[in-house]
Every structure is written in structure tokens, then in C-alpha cells.
């Protein structure tokens, strides 16, 4: 109905023909801010024949485009193309103005993109990643000589990925009297320096909901991380690999940051082994609130990890909690990455576990929650991550786990939260002031065996002291693989479990959690009885009930199920023992203990004790 603030300020300046720098939060409408002025610019240019006969391809004569949008990642290139209408005849650019749009990016075969250009001619609006565009220029099927409207979207990210030499080479081939528009949600010192070289001295700087942070506050130099752009053959070589997805350095100095005011931010200071358990509890709380409010559709959750190895293991943990989960990182083929996004948009997947490949260029309407399982390497990346929610005025929630290893970023994070009028916890403040937060953050867990039984970030199992486990994946002691034992205690100093092996030897080993698989009866925090408070978990046939809270009513005679009454409703379900986690023990008087447990994961309608007829409706799938 009306333009967003960034659009209202950029459109007049861009229509006047001046160079523009636009700094605004993610999801504020920056894409349309530079696409709308491009239409009169293209239509006002002298008409030129951009069609090239097939026989001229590769013989020195290329095809041209007028509006060139350079982006750092294939996901963002695809998003820009989608905003243009997808390049088809039904797109608004083609339908209203007769202009065609297209996108070229890495991760997919060049043949399809080449065929489209050769057959249809050059699109007037082209979104491209630098690596793939240089490939097309080398094949002489595209030309930038006719470009007069140049857009650098997420330019800070392109500099982080090391694309500055490629950008400089591309800009040399574009006519000097071009109009340049640069957009980003952050504006670090390195980008400011580069902008002075790329743009005219009379450029206009527009800031919306922006704040300034010092170099230390913004994160300073980036040590490494899961940054992910194009595929390996189309981006500059970076160090990294399985441990991360690239490393980059960023100049220290002041930085301009933007965060949408509709994003509710929260930070939890904890140790690394605790994070998987805290994440599963967070997901249960989210689903419990949705069940209590009778939400028709689950909200989507995006979980960020910094390492592919941790991501793969964490995705399995999330799946075991009953979440429909998918993974997304640079090691996955482009087609599967796009399918994961489509599944998240359509509701086939509820939780996406991803590296920073999903930190930009991702817009999912049903996405309401972002979780930073691993905190990013600087505050600028943090702003881009949480910018996946709170877009276009919608409410969003961002929850971050911060450890002692993130202490160098604590001051900048606390400053950002204060400027965004978000709560700053006492533990985060202590961490920002350089005081140890580890002792205080763990004090509430040391006396509770159920809480102190920590999971690892690699395997993520919610192991508890007393659990029966099986050993797996041992390399230096391969003869122990398949052996069984029982957990004795969690060794906090080394991040390992002390395991007493079964058999006459009675050996005791200190093993990493990712080498242990729980099996057999588990140690429980008490016994089920009438009046106990429980959380439903691990239901495969009724996953929407996972995370719901309930009161235990009675034991179903002759079965291994208990009748539970769901909170916020009168629905009664008969649920097996292993699918119930006790969060508050029953009253001491009149408590009746549960019977034996088995390994099934079904939730069935409750049956009466006498006739066995169903007395409660089955949960909607």
C-alpha cells in the first residue's frame, strides 16, 4: 500500500541519477528499492538490439544488459530473480514493461543458463554472482559494455568472501558514466573504503534504523567461520573445509549495523556441552506454546551452526525430538539446497539446520524463530542471521547461545541489545565486563544429575548418569566398538563420560559423547504417577504433540500407557512411558508408579478401562 522507509528515500535519489548507498535492516524492502528505479532507467536508454545470432556466440560479439545486480550468493541471486517475477512471461517486469530478467550463478550447470541466453537473448535485468558472471564473459556470451545501472547488493559479504579483485575487474569493463547503487544491512570500514573507489564523489548515503559500533563492538577481525558463498570453482579459494566453510578477515574499525525493531532478541550464556540439551528444550517450549494456542500451522525454525560436522549431528538430534528437519550447507548440491528451502516454505519441514549459507537471501514467510546454536564470528554476521525473521514488519524471535569462547564479542552484543532496547542478562553482562561467567552459569546444574548429564555438540545425545550405552566409532580402540557399559559420571573438565564397561574386566573408560549410543532402560528423574507434570516427546505418528505439556491422570489397565490431559484443553491421550519426560514429580500421597517400559514410540487414543473403547479423539496429524 505504501513504500517502506528505505524505498521512500532511495527512489527519489535513484531517479535523479545519483549514486546511492542504502543501509537498512534485512527484510525492509531493499530489493524493490533498487529494482523499481531501474525500470524508467532502462526504458529511457537508447533502444539497442540485444539479440545475437547463434553463429556470433564465442566469436568476439557478446550480448549486453542494462541493469546488472551483483550478489554474493546463489540464494540471493535466485531471490532477486524471483522478485523480478522469475524471468518468465508472467513476471511483472515482462508483463507491464516488456523487460526480461534472469540470473546466473554457480552451483548449477552452465549449459542451461547458456541455452537461455543464446535462445532468448540477454535479459535487460540480470542478477549474477561474480564468479559465474566472469565465466560467462570469458565465453563471450554476455557483455557488460551496455550496463549503465549497476547494483551491488550485500556488498560487505562479497568483500568478506574475497571477491574484491573480481569486482574491480568487472567494474573496469563497465562504462565510467554508470549509475551505482550499493545496499547492505551493515557498513563496515572495509566496505566504506571500497565504496569510495567504486562510486562517484557525489554519492548519497541513506541510513534507516542504523547504529554505529566500534571495531571491538562489531566484532573486529573475523577469525573463521561457516561463511558460504558460491561453489568452490566460482569463488576465490579459502581455507577451511570440514571444520568450517571458509575463513575471512575483516578490517577493524567502526561499523554501521541495522536490526529490525520487530525482532525480539534473547541470549543464553552456557557451556558448549549444554547447548544441545538447551536447544531441544527450547524447541519443546516453542511447540508447547503453539499447541496451547491451537495454532493451525507450526512456525518454521532456523538453527545456525558454524561447522558442518556439528550441523550433521545436530540435525539428527532435532529429528529424534520429533521435528521434521532438513540440513543446508555448502557440501549439499544446489538442487537439494533449493529443495530444502521449498520444503521449509511449504511446511513439509519445520526446522532447518544451516550454516551461514542461509544467513542472507532467504525469505520464508512462516519463519518465526532463529537460533544461533553457534554464535557467529562477528556482530555483523549476527545481524544478518537474525534478519531472517522480523521481515516486512512481522514479529520474529532470535535466541542465541553464547559461551566463554565468545567473550570477545560479548561487549558488542550487549551494546547492540541495549540500543535495540532488548534485555541484557546478568551473565552476558559479566562476560562483557571480562568476568568469568562459567561458575555462575553452571551452578544451577551441578546438583541435578539429570541436568548435569551433558550432551556433546557432535552427537547431541541427552545422556544421563546411569544410562546403558553402546560404544561406536572408536578408531584408536576399535576392538571396543560394539561393547556395552553404563555411564558413571560426566567429566566436565575434559568433556567426556566416564563409562564402566560390562563384563568381568570392569574397565573404566573416559569417552566422548559422540562415541556413545544410549540403549536399554534409561535413568529417569522419578517415577510416573497420578498428578505428575510431563512433556510429550519422540512421537513419530503425532509429531505436532511433541513438546506439549500435560498432567498424568492414571495408568491404563493392562497396557504400558498412561492417560495424560493436555494443557490448555480437555484432550486426553494414552501415551507410552518412554514418550513422557517428567518435569515435576507427583505429590507424595497417593502416587502410583509406572510399569515397565519398552521401545515403541506410538501415541494412541485413550481407551476406557472396562470395554477398551476409545474415549478421546486421536491427535490430528
Instruction: Assign a CATH topology to domain 5-44+63-207.
Output: Rossmann fold (3.40.50)
pLDDT band at 314 (very low <50, low <70, confident <90, very high): very high
Report whether pLDDT(227) > 60: no
Report whether pLDDT(236) > 50: no
How high is the pLDDT of residue 254? 60
Portions of the chain given CATH number 3.40.50.300: 5-44+63-207, 263-437
How high is the pLDDT of residue 27? 78
Q: What is the pLDDT of residues 510-546, one digit of tens each?
A: 888 878 877 655 444 457 777 788 888 777 778 778 7
- Residue for grid cell 494443557: 567
Rounded Cα distance, 603 and 84, in Å: 47
Instruction: Assign a CATH topology to domain 532-582.
Output: SH3 type barrels. (2.30.30)
Lowest-pLDDT range of 19-33, 250-264, 303-317, 556-570: 250-264
pLDDT band at 620 (very low <50, low <70, confident <90, very high): very low
3-state secondary structure of 476: coil
Rounded Cα distance, 24 and 7, in Å: 10
Mean pLDDT of 582-608: 46
Q: What is the pLDDT of residues 178-206, one digit of tens each?
A: 999 999 887 877 888 888 888 888 889 99
Q: Which CATH class is domain 263-437?
A: alpha beta
Q: What is the pLDDT of residues 14-48, one digit of tens each?
A: 999 999 999 888 778 888 999 999 999 988 875 54
What predicted TM-score, i.e. pTM, was given to this entire model? 0.54
How high is the pLDDT of residue 466? 66
Mean pLDDT of 112-129: 86
Lowest-pLDDT range of 54-63, 85-94, 313-322, 336-345: 54-63
Number of H helices, E strands in the chain: 18, 27
Portions of the chain given CATH number 2.30.30.40: 467-518
Cβ-based neighbour number of residue 376 at 10 Å: 25
Rounded Cα distance, 501 and 551, in Å: 38
How high is the pLDDT of residue 505? 66
Question: Is the Cα dihedral 226, 370, 548, 587 positive or negative?
Answer: positive
Q: Which three cell numbers stand for residue 144?
A: 557488460
Of 419, 418, 424, 422, give the one whose Cα is nearest residue 437: 424
Report whether pLDDT(604) > 80: no
Contact criterion met (CB below 8 Å) for 582 and 534: yes
Query: Cα-flanking dihedrals φ and ψ of residue 304, to 5°?
Result: -100, 135
The DSSP 8-state label assigned to residue 578 in this structure reads G
Q: What is the pLDDT of residues 450-464, one digit of tens each?
A: 333 333 333 334 566
Report whether pLDDT(617) > 60: no
Cβ-based neighbour number of residue 492 at 10 Å: 15
Rounded Cα distance, 391 and 421, in Å: 18
E strand intervals along 343-493: 351-354, 367-372, 396-402, 468-471, 484-491
Report whether pLDDT(475) > 80: no
* Domain 467-518 listed as CATH 3.40.190.10: no
How many residues does the structure list for the chain? Answer: 621
Contact criterion met (CB below 8 Å) for 358 and 376: no
Give me the percent of the chain exceeding a pLDDT of 90. Answer: 18
- What are 500's strand-pairing partners? 486, 508
Question: If you average pLDDT over every residue of the chain, what do you get?
Answer: 76
How high is the pLDDT of residue 322? 85
Amino acid at each position: 500500500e505504501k513504500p517502506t522507509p528505505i524505498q521512500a528515500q532511495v527512489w527519489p535519489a535513484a531517479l535523479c541519477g545519483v549514486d546511492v548507498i542504502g543501509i537498512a535492516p534485512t527484510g525492509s524492502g531493499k530489493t524493490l528499492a533498487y529494482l523499481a528505479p531501474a525500470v524508467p532507467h532502462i526504458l529511457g536508454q537508447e533502444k539497442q538490439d540485444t539479440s545475437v545470432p547463434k553463429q556470433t556466440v564465442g566469436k568476439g560479439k557478446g550480448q549486453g544488459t542494462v541493469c546488472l545486480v551483483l550478489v554474493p550468493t546463489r540464494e540471493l541471486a535466485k531471490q532477486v530473480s524471483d522478485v523480478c517475477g522469475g524471468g518468465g512471461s508472467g513476471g511483472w517486469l515482462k508483463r507491464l514493461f516488456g523487460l526480461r530478467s534472469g540470473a546466473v550463478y554457480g552451483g548449477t550447470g552452465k549449459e542451461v543458463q547458456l541455452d537461455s541466453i543464446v535462445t532468448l537473448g540477454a535479459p535487460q535485468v540480470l542478477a549474477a554472482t561474480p564468479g559465474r558472471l566472469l565465466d560467462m564473459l570469458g565465453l563471450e556470451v554476455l557483455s557488460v559494455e551496455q550496463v549503465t545501472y549497476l547494483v551491488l547488493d550485500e556488498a560487505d559479504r562479497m568483500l568478506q568472501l574475497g571477491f574484491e579483485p573480481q569486482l574491480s575487474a568487472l567494474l573496469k569493463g563497465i562504462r565510467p558514466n554508470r549509475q551505482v547503487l550499493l545496499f547492505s544491512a551493515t557498513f563496515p570500514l572495509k566496505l566504506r573504503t571500497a565504496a569510495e573507489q567504486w562510486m562517484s564523489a557525489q554519492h548519497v548515503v541513506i541510513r534507516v534504523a542504523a547504529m554505529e559500533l566500534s571495531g571491538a563492538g562489531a566484532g573486529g577481525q573475523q577469525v573463521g567461520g561457516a561463511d558460504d558463498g558460491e561453489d568452490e570453482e566460482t569463488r576465490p579459494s579459502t581455507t577451511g573445509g570440514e571444520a568450517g566453510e571458509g575463513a575471512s578477515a575483516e578490517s577493524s574499525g567502526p561499523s554501521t549495523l541495522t536490526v529490525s525493531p520487530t525482532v525480539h532478541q534473547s541470549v543464553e550464556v552456557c557451556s558448549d556441552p549444554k547447548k544441545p540439551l538447551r536447544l531441544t528444550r527450547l524447541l519443546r517450549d516453542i511447540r508447547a506454546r503453539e499447541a496451547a494456542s491451537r495454532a493451525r500451522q507450526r512456525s518454521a525454525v532456523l538453527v545456525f551452526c558454524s561447522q558442518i560436522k556439528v550441523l550433521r549431528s545436530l540435525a539428527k538430534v532435532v529429528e529424534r525430538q520429533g521435528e521434521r528437519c532438513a540440513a543446508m550447507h555448502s557440501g549439499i548440491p544446489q538442487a537439494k539446497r533449493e529443495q530444502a528451502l521449498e520444503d521449509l516454505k511449504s511446511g513439509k519441514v519445520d526446522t532447518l539446520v544451516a550454516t551461514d549459507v542461509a544467513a542472507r537471501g532467504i525469505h520464508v514467510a512462516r519463519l518465526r524463530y532463529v537460533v544461533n546454536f553457534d554464535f557467529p564470528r562477528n556482530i555483523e554476521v549476527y545481524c544478518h542471521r537474525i534478519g531472517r525473521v522480523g521481515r516486512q514488519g512481522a514479529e520474529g524471535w532470535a535466541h542465541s547461545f553464547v559461551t566463554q569462547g565468545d567473550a570477545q564479542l560479548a561487549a558488542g552484543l550487549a551494546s547492540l541489545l541495549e540500543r535495540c532496547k532488548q534485555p541484557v542478562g546478568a551473565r552476558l553482562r559479566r562476560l562483557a565486563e571480562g568476568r568469568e561467567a562459567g561458575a555462575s552459569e553452571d551452578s544451577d546444574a551441578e546438583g541435578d544429575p539429570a541436568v548435569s548429564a551433558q550432551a556433546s555438540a557432535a552427537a547431541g545425545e541427552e545422556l544421563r548418569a546411569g544410562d546403558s550405552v553402546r560404544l561406536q566409532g572408536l578408531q584408536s580402540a576399535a576392538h571396543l566398538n560394539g561393547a556395552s557399559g553404563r555411564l558413571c559420571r560426566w567429566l566436565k573438565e575434559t568433556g567426556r563420560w566416564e563409562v564402566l564397561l560390562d563384563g568381568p574386566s570392569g574397565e573404566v573408560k573416559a569417552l566422548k559423547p559422540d562415541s556413545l549410543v544410549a540403549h536399554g532402560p534409561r535413568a529417569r528423574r522419578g517415577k510416573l504417577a497420578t498428578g505428575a507434570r510431563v512433556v510429550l516427546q519422540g512421537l513419530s505418528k503425532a509429531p505436532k504433540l511433541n513438546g506439549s505439556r500435560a498432567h498424568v491422570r492414571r495408568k491404563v489397565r493392562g497396557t504400558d500407557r498412561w492417560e495424560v490431559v493436555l494443557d490448555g484443553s480437555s484432550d486426553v491421550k494414552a501415551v507410552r512411558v518412554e514418550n513422557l519426560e517428567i518435569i515435576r514429580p507427583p505429590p507424595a500421597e497417593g502416587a502410583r508408579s509406572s510399569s515397565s517400559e519398552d521401545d515403541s514410540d506410538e501415541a494412541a487414543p485413550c481407551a476406557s478401562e472396562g470395554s477398551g473403547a476409545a474415549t478421546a479423539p486421536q491427535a490430528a496429524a
